[in-house]
Amino acid sequence: MDAPSPARGHAPVMLAEALAALAPRDGEAYLDATFGGGGYARAILQAAACTLTAIDRDPDAIARGRALEQEFAPRFRLVEGAFGDMESFVAAPVNGIVLDLGVSSFQFDEPERGFSFQQDAPLDMRMDRAGPSAADAVNRLSEAALADLIHFYGEDDDARRIARVLVQERAAAPIARTGALAAAVERAVGGRKGARTHPATKTFQALRMLVNDELGELSRALTAAERILKPEGRLVVVSFHSLEDRMVKTFLAARAGLSALGSRHAPEAPDPRAPSFRLEHRKTIAPSEAEVAANPRARSASLRWAVRTDAPGWGEAPAFELAPRASEEWSRIV
């Protein structure tokens, strides 16, 4: 979820499509690995007499979810943790897993969390409220690492200019608040006439992804899902920007034996391993026009799903490392 909803609270994106892909059934076990506002969890529990485990790394989300846990006891269990560690929270293989990636509207709507520049607040962005914050990244990463981060994670062509200005401004005083960061980025690149979003949007995205290791979490979650899904179990993933979607698409295509086979001049040999997933719907599913009109933050959403085969798992997926300089420096800070 990469933009706040029109009203306070959390409206799960493509809920009907996700539920149709997951197809919950009575007596089966499911995992909602990104509980957030609980919209998917409630829908799953209402759709079938199944059991559900839900995970969230945000202690605020856990606190909000306790009422839902009591409402659906004993079929529902809510645990605090990172979705990349999902294997630690399920005792047996499950019939389905749903991942709703990104930031919840609750996090965007709480200024003190520092995810948004709509209101001035401490520059935080930590989903679990632990470890170094976005302010640490802005003020401690080198100019080269900041440019690397904003270019690759934020997909911003003005990354070098932004990084240069951030380093200049932090030399006078630490950049400790969301308003200061947004203003600095705007000074670096201007207002970008005609743009639908604020010029700092991509910088905020890049910092949030670094601070919370979002791509690392997703990589670990995908390989964990392969291990804990039963044959014919379903994996449903809703993503909100191209980096997440690319990772999901690449992983599922490879595991389904559909990776590109190179060119006619240098053909790539097919992987000899049996596919561990089957794609029932190869193309991404996008939200309807009606949903986007009702909830503009849904416009960038992409849903992909696949069915686990009975073939052995392939093991760990290759690392999805985009910004090595930023990651190396950040590892020393963490």
176 with 197, same domain: the answer is yes
- Say which residue, 107 or 69, is predicted with more confidence: 69
Spatial CB neighbours of 106, under 8 Å, sequence gap ≥ 6: 9, 10, 36, 37, 60, 61, 64
Residues 153 and 93 in one domain: no
Model pLDDT, residue 3: 37
Residue 186 maps to a domain: yes
The DSSP annotation for 312-325 comes to: PP--SPPP--S-HH
- Give the pLDDT confidence of 21-52 residue by residue, as tens digits: 999 999 999 999 999 999 999 999 999 999 99
Output the pLDDT for position 260: 53
DSSP 219-262: HHHHHHHHHHEEEEEEEEEEE-SHHHHHHHHHHHHHHTT----B
CA dist 231 and 212 (Å) reads: 31
What is the distance between the alpha carbons of residues 54 and 281, in angstroms, rounded to a whole number? 25
Domain for residue 246, yes or no? yes
Most confident of 75-89, 102-116, 269-283, 293-307: 75-89
pTM of the shown model: 0.90
Read off the CATH number of the domain in which 138 is found.
Answer: 1.10.150.170
Q: Specify whether the CB–CB gap between 203 and 115 falls below 8 A.
A: no
Q: Which CATH number is 259's domain given?
A: 3.40.50.150
DSSP string for 33-56: S--TTSHHHHHHHHHSS-EEEEEE
Q: Residue 263 pLDDT more than 80?
A: no
Closest CA to 282 of 307, 319, 316: 307
Phi, psi (degrees; rounded to nearest 5) at 226: -60, -35
Q: Does a structural domain hold residue 131?
A: yes
Residue 328 lies in a domain: no
Same domain for 227 and 92:
yes
pLDDT the model gives residue 24: 98
**pLDDT classification of 266: cutoffs 50, 70, 90:** low
206 and 244 co-located in one domain: no
Let me know whether 134 and 207 are in one domain: yes
The tally of domains found in the chain comes to 2
Asked whether residue 173 falls in the same domain as residue 238, the answer is no
Whether residues 191 and 123 fall in one domain: yes
Query: Do 262 and 127 belong to one domain?
Result: no
Residue 8 lies in a domain: no
48 & 102 share domain: yes
- Are 95 and 166 part of one and the same domain? no
pLDDT, averaged across the chain = 90
**Do both 126 and 176 map to the same domain?**
yes
The answer to whether residue 119 sits within a structural domain is yes
Q: Which of 138-147, 226-235, 312-321 has the lowest mean pLDDT?
A: 312-321
Which has more pLDDT, 254 or 106?
254
The parent domain of residue 233 ranges over: 15-106+214-308
Reading phi first (left if > 0) and then psi (alpha if -120 to 50, else beta), residue 129 is in left
pLDDT in tens, 152-194: 999 999 999 999 999 999 999 999 999 999 999 999 998 665 5
Element (H, E) at 162: helix 159-172
